[in-house]
Amino acid sequence: MSDETAAASQAAAGAAAAGSRAPWFDGTLDEAGLQALGRELAAQLTPPAFVALRGDLGAGKTVLARAIARALGVTGTMPSPTYNLLLRYPAAEGREVIHLDLYRLSGPDESSELGWQDLGADHEVVLCEWPERAEGELPPSRVEVQLAALAGEPTLRQVQVQVLGEQPEVRR
Ligand SMILES: Nc1ncnc2c1ncn2[C@@H]1O[C@H](COP(=O)(O)OP(=O)(O)OP(=O)(O)O)[C@@H](O)[C@H]1O
Ligand SMILES: [Mg+2]
């Protein structure tokens, strides 16, 4: 191996170790586009899966969570879990969707009451809004979604999706 090739492969290994692989998606979407992205992502998720949905109030986390859940076969109403923190829904193929909204999480006690450590069963797809409220407890293998408003563009969002850790099934 030439010095140059060795340096390049070392750099690639470093990038992979740091979880800095290319984003699965990076772009600007309207609401319908975000919902379509949710369907595409749902088709690629193999449980146990954990999707961290980040962004300010009104960024579109619930819009995306519902689109993913619907694509996984969740029917009926899906209220926002703002007050319940955790809502479970049966989905297709024996799966279960768990929709979390940790915005009102008061601290580590309430976090353990939520049964956090029991999440991640083989049939579960966890969709988590405000994951930063439990940052240290997130599974290292997860899908990270960042949503952000765009100045002067109320119907558009900047959207970035990144796959962390071993999720070889999530391909693009
Ligand atoms: N491109 C877009 N993507 C998603 N939502 C959009 C978009 N454009 C406009 N919206 C609107 O923005 C709002 C997003 O609300 P949503 O409840 O999904 O936000 P949220 O991130 O879950 O907020 P919260 O932190 O309060 O839970 C909806 O009213 C939706 O119609
Ligand atoms: Mg929400």
Residue 38 alpha carbon to ligand 2 centre in Å = 15
Q: Which of 29, 39, 61, 63 to mutate to test the pocket of ligand 1 (most atoms within 8 A of CB)?
A: 63
Task: Please compute the mean of the pLDDT values over residues 101-123 and round it to a whole number.
Answer: 85
- In this structure, the residue with its CA closest to atom 17 of ligand 1 is 62
pLDDT of residue 83: 82
104 and 129 Cβ atoms separated by less than 8 Å = no
* pLDDT above 70 as % of the chain: 85
Residue 52 alpha carbon to ligand 1 centre in Å = 16
99 and 105 Cβ atoms separated by less than 8 Å = no
Task: Please compute the mean of the pLDDT values over residues 59-75 and round it to a whole number.
Answer: 98
- In this structure, the residue with its CA closest to atom 16 of ligand 1 is 60
pLDDT of residue 170: 52
Ligand (nearest to CA of 55): 1
Q: Is the C-beta atom of 62 inside 6 A of ligand 1?
A: yes
Q: Which fold has domain 22-164?
A: Rossmann fold (3.40.50)
pLDDT of residue 10: 45
What are the residue ranges spanned by the domains of the chain? 22-164
For residues 84 and 157, what is the distance between their CA atoms, to the nearest angstrom? 27
pTM: 0.88
For residues 164 and 158, what is the distance between their CA atoms, to the nearest angstrom? 19
pLDDT category of residue 112 using cuts at 50, 70 and 90? confident
Indicate the range of 13-17, 39-43, 86-90 predicted with least confidence: 13-17
Hey, how many other C-beta atoms are within 10 angstroms of the C-beta on 22?
Answer: 9
